[in-house]
Every structure is written in C-alpha cells, then in structure tokens.
Chains A and B, each alone.
Chain A
Amino acid sequence: AQSVAQPEDQVNVAEGNPLTVKCTYSVSGNPYLFWYVQYPNRGLQFLLKYITGDNLVKGSYGFEAEFNKSQTSFHLKKPSALVSDSALYFCAVSSSGGYQKVTFGTGTKLQVIP
C-alpha cells in the first residue's frame, strides 16, 4: 500500500526566512508526487507536481520541491516566506502501477510570523 508521511504537524518560520515542509513517501513503482495548499475558509489549491524528469520542480507562488529518490522524499521549499503563505499544506502520492489513486499526507500547518 502506498503512504505519505508529513512528520511535522506545524512549522513556524519568520517572515523573510527560507521555509521547508517535509514529506516522505512509500509507493510501488515510479512515484508521482504532489503538493497542495489549503488557505483558511478556502478550497484546496494545486501547487506543483513531479511526474518525471528534473528532480527540482517549480510551482506556484514561488514554491519549489525537490524529488529525492534515494531518501523517498519530496520536501516543499521557498527561499523567502511571506505571511500570506500561512496555510495548511498537503503532500500526496500516486504511482505508475496499479490503480494510480492519490494518497494524501495528514497535512502540515505553516505559520509565518511577521
């Protein structure tokens, strides 16, 4: 069975500092990896995804994520955090084999402190 782990329930970072939200995964076959963001009282928004190719994926709002096959990780990063980045972030995985269903992590709340 495939799974996603987001080890931190909450991440606090000062505005202007770099941020990292961690994600590790377990899947059979080649992984497809995703990051989504959910702002308070708003729906889920797609940020970026890794299908194949370059290990560094650039997405919306200045976010990027690095695929590391040996560490089975797909950490979300941003060089300089904004207060408006405060939200709930979800990592998700599917695979090239089987049903290709999408499995989500439990989410990480990012708090950017002014």
Chain B
Amino acid sequence: KAGVTQTPRYLIKTRGQQVTLSCSPISGHRSVSWYQQTPGQGLQFLFEYFSETQRNKGNFPGRFSGRQFSNSRSEMNVSTLELGDSALYLCASSKGLAGVGTSTDTQYFGPGTRLTVL
C-alpha cells in the first residue's frame, strides 16, 4: 500500500513569510500527527488531528496551525516565519490516536519536508 506522502520535500522561505505543508496519510488512517525535528531541540510534537478535529497539541506558538480534511489529508501552516523555524517537519498517520490505539496499531511516518528560513 502507498505510504505517507509529504509535499513539498524541500522549501526555502524568507523571514516573515508563511508556508503551508501537506501530508497525505495511508488510506484508512484517520489520525495525522505533525512533528518538528531540529538538531538543537530534537523531535517535538506539534499537533494531532483525528477525524478533522485537533485532538492533541504540543507547546508551539499560535503561528503554527493545522487542519485536516474529510479525506484525512492534513495541512500545517506556519505564519510569520522565523529563522528558528528551519527544521525537518514530519507527519505520521495511524488508524487510531497515535498515543493510544491498540497494541497492534502502528504509526507510519512520511519522509518529511525540509524547511529552510533565510
């Protein structure tokens, strides 16, 4: 089956701009989670959407927002970009909520979007 896809794979933006990243989950998966990975801060949870509703949220400012559509595809938006937003943004999908689910439910990650803010 097709895996989790993320577009675009690479982005270069300048400070103050905004950006939208897209994530298409595995067919049948209703949960999409977003993570930020940087060398300094490591892997940080942004938010999780399940059935078009934000179910969980990490400790990021309001500049980071997201949404999920009825087909479970999700977008993440970052407004007023800062240099510190440069990172690898990963999304992951699962059938149930990522933090719960059953012992056999697996979270699958996409390849990520590399965002560079100049």
Cα of A51 to Cα of B106 in the assembled complex, Å:
12
Interface residues of A in 57-114 (CB under 8 A from B): 57, 90, 94-96, 99-107
A43-B100 contact given A99-B56, A102-B45, A106-B42, CB 8 Å threshold: no
Q: Which of A32, A50, A102, A103 has the most CB of B within 10 A?
A: A102
* A104 contacts across to B, CB distance below 8 A: 35, 42-45
CB distance from A48 to the nearest CB of B (A): 9
CB <8 Å contact, A43 and B111: yes
Interface residues of A in 9-52 (CB under 8 A from B): 32, 34, 36, 42-46, 49-52
* B55 contacts across to A, CB distance below 8 A: 99-100
A101-B43 contact given A46-B106, A46-B108, CB 8 Å threshold: no
Cα of A53 to Cα of B103 in the assembled complex, Å:
9
B contacts, CB < 8 Å to A: 33, 35, 42-45, 48, 55-58, 90, 92, 97-103, 106-112
A contacts, CB < 8 Å to B: 32, 34, 36, 42-46, 49-53, 57, 90, 94-96, 99-107
20 contacts between A and B (CB under 8 A): A32-B100, A43-B110, A43-B111, A44-B109, A46-B108, A46-B109, A50-B103, A95-B99, A100-B56, A100-B100, A101-B56, A101-B57, A101-B58, A102-B33, A102-B45, A102-B48, A104-B35, A104-B43, A106-B42, A107-B43
